[in-house]
Amino acid sequence: MKPFLCVFLPLLLAYATAVLWCTDRWNAPTEYFTHCWLVPVVGVLVVWFRRKTWQSRPRETDLRGLWLLVPGLVMHVTGAALMIDSWSASSMALTLPGAAWLALGANRLRGLWPVLLLVLFAIPMPIYVEGRLAFVLKEIAVEGGSWLANLVGADVLRDGDRLLPQGVEGSLFVADACGGLRSLLAMLTIAYCLVFFTGPPSLVRRGLLLLVAAPLAVAANVTRIAALCLMARWFGVPFAEGTGHSIANVVEWAALLITMVSVDGLLARRLGKPGKEGQPALPQLGTAVPITTSLRGPAIACWLLAGPLLWLSCYRPFSDRSGRAEQIPATIAGYEMQSRSEAQQQAFEKALPRWRELLGTRDFVWRRYRDSEQHMINVVALFHDTNWKSVHPPRICIEGSNMMIEQDDLVGASWITEDGGSDAVASRIVAKRRSDGWRFVTLSMFGTESWASGDYWDFTMHHLPRALLRQNESGFLLRVESPIYSGEDVAQSQARCREFLEQLMPAARKLVR
């Protein structure tokens, strides 16, 4: 119990909020990280079954553990200071192995390093990275699945994230959860456990199995989408979305596991039988340094750090508010807000949990406005407080809406009079919708009560030092989008967006005061 009381318990307290953030992400609506609940269970079981081996070795206090522990704690302090939970959580990949190395010694940890590194598979990626990777994988799944299905006669057309079997009523909707990220992350975790906790300790075997895990997971998901298209063709869309979907999921995972085990068995036979322990020896870590005889010094340091780190992680001088986005005016610059149809509202509410997760806030709206000439303006208005770091560049959402970006730059925005004139810029994106070829111009602006810019880097550098000093400013992101109608050019669509955004800005600024 001494290492636990001296090192692991104070670190557990210091990382309490980071652990809670991880478990919250494990339960996220996308279910990308549900497999993470099994990671600590696997780690504990491996340690338990090998207890006779590692308990027989002497325990030592090894100061070389500070090589990992100190950088990990520095990273945690930085994440806690900036209120970026993903940084604090990521630092556990250094802190946990470092603490074990310090408290137990390299000799006792021999053969257990792969168990400690399992923490990498229990730490969810930042939401920004998750969203980007999920989008790329979904594009591969939808495009690849429809191509493969058509190759064998399914005759489907793609409309964004929907696949339309020709001559069949209905369409297949490829949800974010079916894009392939969930199966990819779970497959990588399974492959890691397979190569390090079973079979011969061959670098070639381990490298090859880890190398093929990701392509196999992506290929399996593409094949699953293709199979669902064929089911929709043969048995109808309701069957494909119901019973067929369940069957395809089971078959996909059975095929993945059988393939991985078969490849592993083939490699194991060719590379020989496992050694006595079936585990790698500790890598050479350089010349040993003097090893202390007591944990007293490290224990005092850990306990002195635990309280301040817990306080820094928990202290939020501002609470995140809600309800501001709904107060955006219904009439702006001669444009009237259009109500959604019942079907549109149901689709929006169904997607709402995912949007809240990606945007990091509940305080946002997506609206459509039209003027007397039926010119359309789409508006996204998002308000933030301490959760400013969850706001991402506008191009991420545009790409995620099945749009192909043709131009992404900054344009002058001297019309933002409160912010000081000619140096002000707005983000401009020209994009084309893949489903029907319509082109759109989008103008975006980040802002607070007294500051505004369309440059995401300016936005980051404005809020970062204030977050460090716990002096956050409430702010907003406004994204205004209009089509390029027949006979128009980019400038005309941009002029509509500018006029609308210019009149929307004062209303948004009032709401963050």
pLDDT in tens, 96-114: 999 999 999 999 998 899 9
* pLDDT at site 1: 55
* pLDDT at site 417: 59
Residue 323 backbone class (left: φ over 0; alpha: ψ -120 to 50; beta: rest):
left
Between CA 217 and CA 188 the distance in angstroms is 9
244 touches 220 (CB < 8 A): no
- DSSP tag of 119: G
* pLDDT at site 320: 72
Q: Is 81 exposed, middle or buried (0-12, 13-18, 19+ CB in 10 A)?
A: middle
Domains and CATH numbers, the chain: 2-110+291-314 (no CATH), 129-271 (no CATH), 325-511 (3.40.1000)
Between CA 282 and CA 79 the distance in angstroms is 31
* pLDDT at site 276: 44
75 touches 87 (CB < 8 A): yes
Give the DSSP H/E element, type plus range, for residue 261: helix 243-271
Exposure letters 276-298 (e unless 16+ CB within 10 A, then b): eeebbeeeeeeeeeeeeeebeeb
Tokens 């053969």, located at residue: 111
Tokens 């079973």, located at residue: 198
Neighbours of 398 (CB within 10 A): 22
Residues of the chain short of pLDDT 50, as ranges, are: 274-290, 419-421
Contacts of 301 (CB under 8 A, 6+ apart): none
Q: Which two tokens stand for residue 355?
A: 């949007």
What is the model's pTM?
0.80
Q: Is 136 exposed, middle or buried (0-12, 13-18, 19+ CB in 10 A)?
A: middle
